[in-house]
């Protein structure tokens, strides 16, 4: 990410505004809409119907790095585990592609890590009550 030069005439509320401005500048446009981003988001939205029961049962959770993890395989019937693993793998592949494409579409492929971290935080914050999220090395129920 390129360095940002900002003057700070006063402290207090302006520090919060400055932090938000720097963060927004560093991340670029996270809502950018390209054909590739649109296709990835559509794929992820369609897959959500398969992931929701895994989240609700506690079998899957949102990992701290923004991926989906099969956190308790025993909660998925043995006959369905292969399908659960495939859905999770497809979701994680689309998430990685989404982060990469958003960074690229902003003209800064080197921002991929920052985009990933921001989305990881968003996924955890937006998890529904009862879903499991990873905080550090621990899993907690929201």
Kindly report the backbone phi and psi dihedral angles of residue 62, in degrees, each rounded to the nearest multiple of 5, phi listed first: -95, 115
Residue with tokens 């369609």: 46
Instruction: Give the per-residue pLDDT at 32.
Output: 93
Average pLDDT over residues 96-106: 96
Q: State in Å, rounded, how far the first CA of the chain is from the last one.
A: 33
Average pLDDT over residues 23-27: 47
Average pLDDT over residues 14-42: 67
Q: How far apart are CA 25 and CA 17, in angstroms?
A: 12
Helix or strand run (H / E) with residue 98:
helix 78-105
Read off the pTM.
0.79
Instruction: Give the per-residue pLDDT at 26.
Output: 52
- Structural tokens at position 33: 């809409």
């Amino acid at each position: 990410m390129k360095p940002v030069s900002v003057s700070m005439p006063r402290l207090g509320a302006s520090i919060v505004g400055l932090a938000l401005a720097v963060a927004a500048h560093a991340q670029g446009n996270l809502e950018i809409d390209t054909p590739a981003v649109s296709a990835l988001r559509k794929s992820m939205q369609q897959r959500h119907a398969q992931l929701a029961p895994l989240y609700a049962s506690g079998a899957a959770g949102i990992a701290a790095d923004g991926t989906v993890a099969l956190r308790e395989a025993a909660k998925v019937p043995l006959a369905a585990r292969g399908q659960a693993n495939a859905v999770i793998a497809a979701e994680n592949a689309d998430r990685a592609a989404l982060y990469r494409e958003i960074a690229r579409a902003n003209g800064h492929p080197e921002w991929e890590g920052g985009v990933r971290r921001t989305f990881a935080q968003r996924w955890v914050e937006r998890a529904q009550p009862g879903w499991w999220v990873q905080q550090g090395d621990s899993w907690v129920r929201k």
